Amino acid sequence: MKLLVTHHSSYVFEPPTRGVVQSLRLTPSIFDGQSVKHWSVTVEGAEMGASFRDGCGDWVQTVSMLGPVSEMTVLVEGEVHTTDLAGILRGHREHVPPAAYLRSTRATRPDKGLRKLSETTLASFPDASPLEQAHALSAAVSEAIAYRPGETHAHTTAAEALSLGLGVCQDHAHALISVAHAADMPARYVTGYLHSTDDGQAHEASHAWAEIHVSGLGWVGFDPSNQCCPDERYIRLGSGYDAMDAAPIRGIAKGAGDESLQVSVAVQQAAQ
């Protein structure tokens, strides 16, 4: 599938800040399931700093803008050709060992409820393969946490989302990571884009899901929000321990004041 992406992130600082420094992970991953035909990340008025590929295989670009800064806009535009690999992250080069992703954070730490969900789910499939177990955990999270925008916030933990029984893609990803950790399965948070379809299954153009490391296959993606594995509708950007660690844009503004952000993302299918 040929997908066209336009992504605006507009910041307003009141009063103007003395300067802004950002770390951007807004370039698609390199693996067999997607190829970039053209891609640009621009920040008008900013100085583009160092760029590098980190140990997780993600491309990181640093930018800075000297103050006074009242507005700052990050514009992402590009075309990516995708292939359905049934969620398998084949051909992705990285140096961080899978065992590193057994580490939990505040957002993904399993509490009693998440551990019980993990144990109960896997107990129902005593002879299941590791891949079947991962699918079962993803389905259990989908059933336990209904997709409902506006009920959670950026700092909601997996435990809180499970207790509420409601959440969005961030909560689903955190919860799946948590139940996987409870089963001693490495898991991580993934950010990217999703081309919405007409059948009501896809929810957000800017999207998040989880990857679980499956013995014999490697990293496999699971999207509890849409009850599927990432396919040709998905563009993968990067990964981390949780939403904060994997954030496509992270930054610091110098000085006290209010910061507001408006984001618009459009993912369209190009003519074949």
Q: Which helix (H) or strand (E) holds 160?
A: helix 158-164
Place of tokens 């140096």: 95
Which whole number is the average pLDDT over 19-26? 96
pLDDT of 182 > 90? The answer is: yes
Task: Say if residue 170's pLDDT is above 50.
Answer: yes
Residues in CB range of 123: below 8 A, 6 or more apart: none
Q: What does the domain layout of the chain look like in residue ranges?
A: 2-81+248-269, 85-240
- Select 2-81+248-269's CATH number: 1.10.287.70, 2.60.40.10, 2.60.40.2250, 3.40.1160.10: 2.60.40.2250
**CATH topology identical between 2-81+248-269 and 85-240:** no
pLDDT at residue 200, rounded to an integer? 44
Predicted model pTM: 0.94
Question: Could you tell me if 183 and 138 are in contact, meaning their C-beta atoms sit under 8 angstroms apart?
Answer: no
Residue 150, classified by CB atoms within 10 Å of its CB into exposed (0-12), middle (13-18) or buried (19+), is exposed
145 close to 66: Cβ distance less than 8 angstroms: no
What percent of the chain shows pLDDT beyond 70?
97
Give the CATH number of domain 85-240; options: 1.10.10.1100, 2.60.40.3140, 3.40.50.10190, 3.10.620.30.
3.10.620.30
Question: How does pLDDT run across 188-227, given as a tens digit for each residue?
Answer: 999 999 998 654 444 468 999 999 999 999 999 999 999 9
Name the helix (H) or strand (E) containing 8: strand 2-24
Give which of 241, 215, 236, 224 is closest to 132, Cα–Cα: 215
Q: Is the pLDDT of residue 247 over 80?
A: yes
How many Å apart are CA 22 and CA 57, to the nearest integer?
19
| Of the ranges 142-146, 150-154, 260-264, the best mean pLDDT one | 142-146
Mean pLDDT of the chain: 94
Residues 122-148: pLDDT tens digits? 999 999 999 999 999 999 999 999 999
pLDDT at 103 over 90: yes
Q: To which residue do tokens 């969620």 refer?
A: 87
